[in-house]
Amino acid sequence: MTGGSGAARDAIASPAGEGPLLRSWSLWAPDPDESRSMPATAKRTQPTPAGSANRRGAAGATPFHGPRSSTSEVVPVLRAIGRAIRAMELPAIEKLQEDNAATPFRTLVSTMLSAQTRDPVTYEASMRLFARADSPAALATLPAKTIERLIYPVSFYRNKARHLKETARDILDRFGGVTPTTMEELLTLKGVGRKTANLVLIVAHESPDNICVDTHVHRIANRLGWVRTRTPEQTERALYEVAPRRWWKDVNLYLVTWGQQVCRPVYPRCGACVVAGACPRIGVTREGRV
Protein backbone atom coordinates (compact mmCIF):
# COMPACT_ATOMS: atom_id res chain seq x y z
CA MET A 1 0.00 0.00 0.00
CA THR A 2 1.13 3.53 -0.58
CA GLY A 3 0.56 6.65 1.43
CA GLY A 4 -2.21 8.97 0.27
CA SER A 5 -2.68 12.69 -0.07
CA GLY A 6 -6.45 13.09 -0.39
CA ALA A 7 -9.26 14.46 1.71
CA ALA A 8 -8.22 12.81 4.96
CA ARG A 9 -4.76 14.33 4.78
CA ASP A 10 -6.01 17.70 3.55
CA ALA A 11 -8.01 17.92 6.73
CA ILE A 12 -4.72 18.02 8.62
CA ALA A 13 -4.08 21.58 7.55
CA SER A 14 -7.73 22.65 7.54
CA PRO A 15 -9.60 21.58 10.65
CA ALA A 16 -13.34 22.23 10.63
CA GLY A 17 -14.85 25.24 12.38
CA GLU A 18 -16.61 25.47 15.69
CA GLY A 19 -20.18 24.26 16.12
CA PRO A 20 -22.75 22.98 18.61
CA LEU A 21 -21.89 20.06 20.88
CA LEU A 22 -24.25 17.18 20.15
CA ARG A 23 -23.76 14.30 22.53
CA SER A 24 -25.67 11.81 24.57
CA TRP A 25 -23.72 10.92 27.70
CA SER A 26 -25.97 7.96 28.35
CA LEU A 27 -24.50 5.96 25.46
CA TRP A 28 -21.26 4.76 26.94
CA ALA A 29 -21.42 1.03 26.36
CA PRO A 30 -17.87 -0.08 25.44
CA ASP A 31 -17.15 -2.18 22.35
CA PRO A 32 -16.87 -5.81 23.42
CA ASP A 33 -13.83 -6.43 21.20
CA GLU A 34 -12.32 -2.96 21.43
CA SER A 35 -12.33 -1.81 25.03
CA ARG A 36 -9.03 -2.30 26.81
CA SER A 37 -7.80 -1.08 30.15
CA MET A 38 -4.70 1.05 30.42
CA PRO A 39 -1.70 -0.99 31.53
CA ALA A 40 -0.59 -0.46 35.11
CA THR A 41 2.70 0.99 33.85
CA ALA A 42 0.81 3.98 32.43
CA LYS A 43 -0.31 5.32 35.80
CA ARG A 44 1.32 8.16 37.67
CA THR A 45 0.41 11.18 39.66
CA GLN A 46 2.26 14.10 38.06
CA PRO A 47 3.46 14.71 34.51
CA THR A 48 7.12 15.66 34.23
CA PRO A 49 9.17 17.23 31.45
CA ALA A 50 10.51 15.09 28.63
CA GLY A 51 13.72 13.35 29.60
CA SER A 52 12.98 13.50 33.30
CA ALA A 53 14.12 10.58 35.40
CA ASN A 54 10.60 10.50 36.87
CA ARG A 55 8.90 9.76 33.58
CA ARG A 56 8.87 6.00 34.16
CA GLY A 57 5.68 6.14 36.19
CA ALA A 58 4.75 6.08 39.83
CA ALA A 59 3.33 3.21 41.79
CA GLY A 60 0.12 3.83 43.66
CA ALA A 61 -1.09 6.67 41.47
CA THR A 62 -4.46 8.10 42.42
CA PRO A 63 -7.18 7.09 39.93
CA PHE A 64 -7.98 10.07 37.77
CA HIS A 65 -10.25 10.03 34.77
CA GLY A 66 -10.24 13.64 33.68
CA PRO A 67 -8.06 15.72 31.39
CA ARG A 68 -4.57 16.67 32.65
CA SER A 69 -3.49 19.14 29.98
CA SER A 70 -4.81 22.44 28.76
CA THR A 71 -5.93 22.96 25.18
CA SER A 72 -2.94 25.24 24.64
CA GLU A 73 -0.65 22.23 25.23
CA VAL A 74 -2.66 19.82 23.10
CA VAL A 75 -3.08 21.87 19.93
CA PRO A 76 0.63 22.36 19.06
CA VAL A 77 1.21 18.62 19.51
CA LEU A 78 -1.72 17.73 17.25
CA ARG A 79 -0.53 20.24 14.69
CA ALA A 80 3.01 18.79 14.70
CA ILE A 81 1.79 15.21 14.43
CA GLY A 82 -0.59 16.24 11.64
CA ARG A 83 2.32 17.62 9.65
CA ALA A 84 4.52 14.60 10.38
CA ILE A 85 2.01 11.97 9.21
CA ARG A 86 1.50 13.48 5.77
CA ALA A 87 4.08 11.14 4.26
CA MET A 88 2.91 8.10 6.22
CA GLU A 89 0.60 5.24 5.35
CA LEU A 90 -3.05 5.94 6.07
CA PRO A 91 -4.93 3.62 8.45
CA ALA A 92 -7.12 1.07 6.63
CA ILE A 93 -10.46 2.83 7.07
CA GLU A 94 -9.18 6.18 5.82
CA LYS A 95 -7.33 4.43 2.99
CA LEU A 96 -10.55 2.80 1.80
CA GLN A 97 -12.14 6.25 1.88
CA GLU A 98 -9.29 7.79 -0.05
CA ASP A 99 -9.30 4.99 -2.63
CA ASN A 100 -12.98 5.76 -3.29
CA ALA A 101 -13.72 2.25 -2.05
CA ALA A 102 -15.96 3.46 0.77
CA THR A 103 -19.67 4.02 1.24
CA PRO A 104 -21.17 4.50 4.70
CA PHE A 105 -22.07 0.79 4.75
CA ARG A 106 -18.61 -0.26 3.59
CA THR A 107 -17.02 1.98 6.23
CA LEU A 108 -19.20 0.36 8.89
CA VAL A 109 -18.25 -3.13 7.70
CA SER A 110 -14.52 -2.36 7.51
CA THR A 111 -14.53 -0.76 10.93
CA MET A 112 -16.21 -3.84 12.40
CA LEU A 113 -13.55 -6.00 10.74
CA SER A 114 -10.70 -3.80 12.00
CA ALA A 115 -11.09 -4.50 15.74
CA GLN A 116 -7.86 -6.16 16.93
CA THR A 117 -6.77 -6.76 13.35
CA ARG A 118 -3.77 -5.32 11.53
CA ASP A 119 -4.56 -2.70 8.91
CA PRO A 120 -3.30 -4.62 5.84
CA VAL A 121 -5.41 -7.61 6.87
CA THR A 122 -8.47 -5.39 7.38
CA TYR A 123 -7.99 -3.74 4.00
CA GLU A 124 -7.58 -6.97 2.04
CA ALA A 125 -10.45 -8.72 3.85
CA SER A 126 -12.71 -5.73 3.20
CA MET A 127 -11.93 -5.74 -0.50
CA ARG A 128 -12.53 -9.50 -0.77
CA LEU A 129 -15.87 -9.16 0.99
CA PHE A 130 -16.97 -6.11 -1.01
CA ALA A 131 -16.26 -7.96 -4.26
CA ARG A 132 -19.02 -10.39 -3.25
CA ALA A 133 -21.30 -8.19 -1.17
CA ASP A 134 -21.09 -4.47 -0.50
CA SER A 135 -24.69 -3.62 0.35
CA PRO A 136 -26.91 -4.63 3.27
CA ALA A 137 -29.12 -6.67 0.92
CA ALA A 138 -26.22 -8.61 -0.57
CA LEU A 139 -24.49 -9.22 2.77
CA ALA A 140 -27.69 -10.30 4.54
CA THR A 141 -28.21 -13.10 2.01
CA LEU A 142 -24.61 -14.34 2.05
CA PRO A 143 -24.15 -17.52 4.14
CA ALA A 144 -22.19 -16.93 7.35
CA LYS A 145 -19.66 -19.58 6.31
CA THR A 146 -18.99 -17.70 3.07
CA ILE A 147 -18.48 -14.45 4.99
CA GLU A 148 -16.09 -16.26 7.33
CA ARG A 149 -14.08 -17.55 4.39
CA LEU A 150 -13.94 -14.13 2.74
CA ILE A 151 -12.82 -12.19 5.83
CA TYR A 152 -10.36 -14.74 7.21
CA PRO A 153 -7.78 -14.14 8.78
CA VAL A 154 -9.24 -11.12 10.62
CA SER A 155 -9.40 -11.76 14.33
CA PHE A 156 -12.59 -13.33 15.67
CA TYR A 157 -13.70 -13.90 12.08
CA ARG A 158 -16.49 -16.27 13.08
CA ASN A 159 -18.07 -13.78 15.50
CA LYS A 160 -17.55 -10.93 13.08
CA ALA A 161 -19.16 -12.87 10.21
CA ARG A 162 -22.23 -13.46 12.37
CA HIS A 163 -22.35 -9.83 13.49
CA LEU A 164 -21.96 -8.55 9.93
CA LYS A 165 -24.83 -10.70 8.69
CA GLU A 166 -27.09 -9.64 11.58
CA THR A 167 -26.14 -5.99 11.13
CA ALA A 168 -26.90 -6.11 7.41
CA ARG A 169 -30.29 -7.67 8.13
CA ASP A 170 -30.97 -5.10 10.85
CA ILE A 171 -30.14 -2.18 8.57
CA LEU A 172 -32.52 -3.60 5.96
CA ASP A 173 -35.35 -4.28 8.39
CA ARG A 174 -35.13 -1.28 10.70
CA PHE A 175 -33.38 1.46 8.70
CA GLY A 176 -34.64 0.85 5.15
CA GLY A 177 -31.22 -0.27 3.95
CA VAL A 178 -29.57 3.04 4.95
CA THR A 179 -26.61 2.99 7.33
CA PRO A 180 -27.63 4.85 10.52
CA THR A 181 -26.33 8.37 11.02
CA THR A 182 -26.61 8.74 14.80
CA MET A 183 -24.73 7.27 17.75
CA GLU A 184 -28.01 6.08 19.26
CA GLU A 185 -28.97 4.11 16.15
CA LEU A 186 -25.51 2.73 15.44
CA LEU A 187 -25.20 1.35 18.96
CA THR A 188 -28.32 -0.75 18.42
CA LEU A 189 -26.50 -2.80 15.75
CA LYS A 190 -24.94 -6.12 16.69
CA GLY A 191 -21.22 -5.87 17.35
CA VAL A 192 -21.13 -2.07 17.11
CA GLY A 193 -19.70 -0.17 20.06
CA ARG A 194 -18.57 3.40 20.61
CA LYS A 195 -15.30 3.12 18.71
CA THR A 196 -16.96 1.75 15.61
CA ALA A 197 -19.88 4.16 15.83
CA ASN A 198 -17.62 7.19 16.31
CA LEU A 199 -15.41 6.25 13.35
CA VAL A 200 -18.42 5.68 11.08
CA LEU A 201 -19.84 9.05 12.11
CA ILE A 202 -16.51 10.81 11.47
CA VAL A 203 -15.36 9.05 8.29
CA ALA A 204 -18.63 8.11 6.58
CA HIS A 205 -20.90 10.91 7.76
CA GLU A 206 -18.24 13.63 8.18
CA SER A 207 -19.32 14.42 11.73
CA PRO A 208 -17.23 17.08 13.51
CA ASP A 209 -18.86 16.17 16.83
CA ASN A 210 -17.08 12.93 17.68
CA ILE A 211 -13.71 11.67 18.89
CA CYS A 212 -12.94 8.07 18.08
CA VAL A 213 -10.75 6.47 20.73
CA ASP A 214 -9.12 3.13 20.04
CA THR A 215 -6.16 1.57 21.83
CA HIS A 216 -3.65 3.84 20.01
CA VAL A 217 -5.48 7.04 20.95
CA HIS A 218 -5.97 5.79 24.51
CA ARG A 219 -2.30 4.87 24.93
CA ILE A 220 -0.81 8.00 23.36
CA ALA A 221 -3.14 10.46 25.12
CA ASN A 222 -2.00 8.93 28.41
CA ARG A 223 1.69 8.90 27.47
CA LEU A 224 1.47 12.54 26.47
CA GLY A 225 -0.17 13.33 29.80
CA TRP A 226 -3.28 14.77 28.16
CA VAL A 227 -5.43 12.43 30.23
CA ARG A 228 -4.96 9.87 32.95
CA THR A 229 -7.51 7.18 32.31
CA ARG A 230 -7.97 3.44 32.52
CA THR A 231 -10.25 2.76 29.56
CA PRO A 232 -10.84 4.14 26.05
CA GLU A 233 -14.29 5.29 27.17
CA GLN A 234 -12.78 7.40 29.95
CA THR A 235 -10.23 8.74 27.49
CA GLU A 236 -12.96 9.74 25.04
CA ARG A 237 -14.80 11.67 27.74
CA ALA A 238 -11.61 13.40 28.88
CA LEU A 239 -10.50 14.32 25.37
CA TYR A 240 -13.74 16.18 24.69
CA GLU A 241 -12.65 18.49 27.51
CA VAL A 242 -9.01 18.89 26.62
CA ALA A 243 -9.05 19.03 22.79
CA PRO A 244 -10.69 21.95 20.99
CA ARG A 245 -13.71 20.81 19.01
CA ARG A 246 -12.27 21.65 15.63
CA TRP A 247 -9.65 18.92 16.19
CA TRP A 248 -11.98 16.17 17.36
CA LYS A 249 -12.48 14.48 14.01
CA ASP A 250 -8.71 14.41 13.41
CA VAL A 251 -7.61 12.92 16.72
CA ASN A 252 -8.11 9.32 15.59
CA LEU A 253 -6.41 9.67 12.22
CA TYR A 254 -3.44 11.48 13.73
CA LEU A 255 -2.86 9.30 16.78
CA VAL A 256 -3.60 5.96 15.09
CA THR A 257 -1.09 6.77 12.34
CA TRP A 258 1.39 7.98 14.98
CA GLY A 259 0.77 4.89 17.08
CA GLN A 260 1.42 2.54 14.18
CA GLN A 261 4.59 4.26 13.00
CA VAL A 262 6.24 6.04 15.94
CA CYS A 263 4.52 5.84 19.33
CA ARG A 264 4.15 2.08 19.12
CA PRO A 265 2.63 0.00 21.92
CA VAL A 266 6.03 -1.40 22.88
CA TYR A 267 9.36 0.27 22.23
CA PRO A 268 8.01 3.64 21.08
CA ARG A 269 10.50 5.47 18.86
CA CYS A 270 10.83 8.52 21.11
CA GLY A 271 14.17 9.45 19.54
CA ALA A 272 12.42 9.97 16.20
CA CYS A 273 9.37 11.69 17.61
CA VAL A 274 8.62 15.27 16.58
CA VAL A 275 6.74 15.93 19.82
CA ALA A 276 9.31 14.39 22.19
CA GLY A 277 10.06 17.80 23.68
CA ALA A 278 6.44 18.17 24.78
CA CYS A 279 5.94 14.59 25.93
CA PRO A 280 6.46 13.42 29.53
CA ARG A 281 6.42 9.80 28.23
CA ILE A 282 4.18 8.67 31.03
CA GLY A 283 4.39 4.92 31.53
CA VAL A 284 7.13 4.46 28.90
CA THR A 285 9.75 2.13 30.34
CA ARG A 286 11.69 1.15 27.24
CA GLU A 287 12.19 3.04 24.01
CA GLY A 288 12.76 1.55 20.57
CA ARG A 289 15.56 2.20 18.15
CA VAL A 290 15.15 5.23 15.89
Residues lying near ligand SF4 in the complex (CB under 6 A)? 220, 223-224, 262-263, 268-270, 273, 275-276, 279, 281, 284
Closest distance between ligand SF4 and the C-beta of residue 238, in Å? Answer: 17
Collect all residues with Cβ–Cβ distance below 8 Å to 237 and sequence separation of at least 6: 28, 65
Least distance (Å) between residue 280 CB and ligand SF4: 8
d(CA 107, CA 93): 7
Residue 116 near residue 33 (C-beta atoms within 8 A):
yes
> Is the CB of 15 or the CB of 283 nearer to ligand SF4?
283
Radius of gyration of the chain, Cα coordinates, nearest whole angstrom? 19
Min separation Cβ 8 and ligand SF4, Å: 21
For residue 227, the cross-strand partners are 67
Q: Which 3 state secondary structure label does DSSP give 227? A: strand
Q: Which is nearer to ligand SF4, 193 or 259 (CB)?
A: 259
Helices and strands in the chain: count of H runs, count of E runs: 13, 0
129 vs 217 by CB, closer to ligand SF4: 217
C-beta closer to ligand SF4: residue 80 or 121:
80
Cβ atoms 239, 227 nearer than 8 A: yes
CB of 55 to ligand SF4, least distance (A): 9
Nearer to ligand SF4, 202 or 273 (CB): 273
Question: How far apart are CB 289 and ligand SF4 at their closest, in Å?
Answer: 12
In angstroms, rounded to a whole number, what is the distance separating the alpha carbons of residues 64 and 245? 22
Strand partners, 67: 227
